[in-house]
Chains A and B, each alone.
Chain A
Amino acid sequence: EAGVAQSPRYKIIEKRQSVAFWCNPISGHATLYWYQQILGQGPKLLIQFQNNGVVDDSQLPKDRFSAERLKGVDSTLKIQPAKLEDSAVYLCASSLIGGSTDTQYFGPGTRLTVL
């Protein structure tokens, strides 16, 4: 079974530039999550999708971050404009149905450096 795919793996940009990350979840998984992991911290949920609908985006900085999952499969996360404090690893995860006992499977992440 193929895992969660993410690209790019690494990205370096200057502050105020824009950047986009792509995620392809495990086939058949209805729920998709984007996490932000700052160095030395645990992952923090940014947004959760159930199919193509948003379940939780309470911790997404909506003035600069946006995410979509138009066809209920792959997803993109965008930052515009980027700030220095956005430097982090952006992890995508997926799970089968999003229930309380569902296991989340993580991708390798995209490491973003904002200069």
Chain B
Amino acid sequence: QKEVEQDPGPLSVPEGAIVSLNCTYSNSAFQYFMWYRQYSRKGPELLMYTYSSGNKEDGRFTAQVDKSSKYISLFIRDSQPSDSATYLCAMRSTGGGNKLTFGTGTQLKVEL
């Protein structure tokens, strides 16, 4: 079993839709949770960062962490064609330096 599971998609939605992306994990030591966005032929860029459980909102993006269920989510409101990319969840534990464990990524396409 992988430490981090993520549905690879692809996920196709119409412009303006609410998008829900999810990851599950098995390592209870994970305390820091991130979402990266990766455009085609580019490196990942940090989108959202959350410590422990709870919600965090930034513009059209909301990240949720439920440590009791080992489940994290990223919501995108009013999705735009420019949101079309692969979304990678990533996690790390305390005391583990800065080593990130990534999910496989979900490919999202927002259509006009």
B43 close to A56 (CB less than 8 A):
no
Question: Is B99 part of the contact surface with A, judged by Cβ < 8 Å?
Answer: yes
Residues of A within 8 A of B46 (CB): 103-105
Main secondary structure of the interface of B (DSSP, over half): loop
- In angstroms, Cα B97 to Cα A45, docked, is 12
Which size class do B's interface residues fall under? 20 to 34
With contact pairs A41-B104, A42-B103 given, residues A103 and B49 touching in the complex (Cβ less than 8 Å): yes
Which of B6, B43, B90, B103 sits near A109, CB closer than 8 Å?
Answer: B43
30 example contacts (A-B, Cβ-Cβ < 8 A) are as follows A4-B43, A42-B4, A42-B90, A42-B102, A42-B103, A43-B44, A43-B88, A43-B100, A48-B97, A48-B98, A48-B99, A56-B97, A91-B43, A91-B44, A95-B98, A99-B98, A100-B31, A100-B32, A100-B95, A100-B96, A100-B97, A100-B98, A103-B46, A104-B98, A104-B100, A105-B45, A106-B44, A108-B43, A109-B41, A109-B43
